[in-house]
Structure 1
Amino acid sequence: MAVHLNHTIVPAKDRDETAAFLVDVLGLDPAPVYGPFRVVSLDNDVSLDVVQTDAPVPSQHYAFLVSDEEFDQIRRRIQERGLTYWADPFHQEPGRINTNDGGRGLYWSDPNGHNLEIITVPYGGG
């Protein structure tokens, strides 16, 4: 049997705002409600199930593998929103991208402080 990630839960201060942010910046389909979640579906049959919490939201890291064309589109949407992005996970190189592993990558934050990343080549060079 193969093991595949099916979904993960993303805690948020505002479930609807966070799901709409992810859908908008990543260029995804609207996130329907399923129980207490907004389900943000990714193209590899994995979902980010956004749930609202009143507790402090610990920062998590979510990385998305995208094509070169999608990278350009997402970067443009990040810039259009006036969001800061960085070339590194520690946010030391603002407004830059990295070329790790022969691809391109960048990091930005969602409204909850989650560290989001897009890369065009998997770690290790694909």
Structure 2
Amino acid sequence: MSVELNHTIVHARDNRESAEFLAHILGLEAGTAWGPFIPVATSNGVILDFAAIPAESIAMQHYAFLVSDEEFDVAFARIQQAGITYYADPHLKQPGEFNHHHGGRGPYFTDPAGHGVEIITRPYAGHEQTPTTS
């Protein structure tokens, strides 16, 4: 049996706002509410289910998205158009820059709930995906 991540819950102050924020940046769709969740599906089938919880209960998480060079250009333009501060590092110490790890490009920024979001054009060493077998 192959094991794949199917979905995960992303805590947010406002689940619709956070889902639409990420969907807009990545060029995805925020789905129809399903119970307490607003889903955003990625192209590899993983669903991010945004759930509203009290702000004081939200622990910052990190979400990295691998995109093509063309998708990066579009997403980065959206980041700039929205006036979102972006950084070259996960500690948010290098504003207005992005990194070039492994020959790619990658900015970090935060979503409305304070989660760290990263878009990258090349997977980091040790994070390459290999084909699954059944």
TM over 0.5: yes
Root-mean-square deviation (CA, aligned residues, Å) is 1.2
For 1:45 and 1:5, the matched residues in 2 are separated by 8
Question: Residue in 2 aligned with 1:30?
Answer: 30
Question: Residue in 1 aligned with 2:14?
Answer: 14
Amino acid at match of 2:35: G
For 1:63 and 1:30, the matched residues in 2 are separated by 18
TM-score (structure 1 length as normaliser): 0.96
8 Å contact kept, 2:12–2:55:
no
8 Å contact kept, 2:38–2:51:
yes
TM-score (structure 2 length as normaliser): 0.90
Amino acid at match of 1:121: R
For 2:15 and 2:35, the matched residues in 1 are separated by 12
Unaligned runs of 5+ in 1: none
For 1:65 and 1:71, the matched residues in 2 are separated by 9
8 Å contact kept, 2:20–2:29:
no
Unaligned runs of 5+ in 2: 129-134
For 2:124 and 2:32, the matched residues in 1 are separated by 31
How many residue pairs align between the two structures?
Answer: 126
For 2:85 and 2:28, the matched residues in 1 are separated by 21
| 1:30 CA displacement | 3.0
Deviations 1:2-30 (A, max 9, x none): 11000110000001111111111111023
Percent of matched pairs sharing the same residue: 53
For 1:111 and 1:55, the matched residues in 2 are separated by 11
For 2:20 and 2:4, the matched residues in 1 are separated by 25
Structure 1's consecutive aligned runs of 4 or more residues displaced over 4 angstroms after TM superposition are none
Which of the two has greater strand per residue?
1
Question: Residue in 2 aligned with 1:82?
Answer: 83
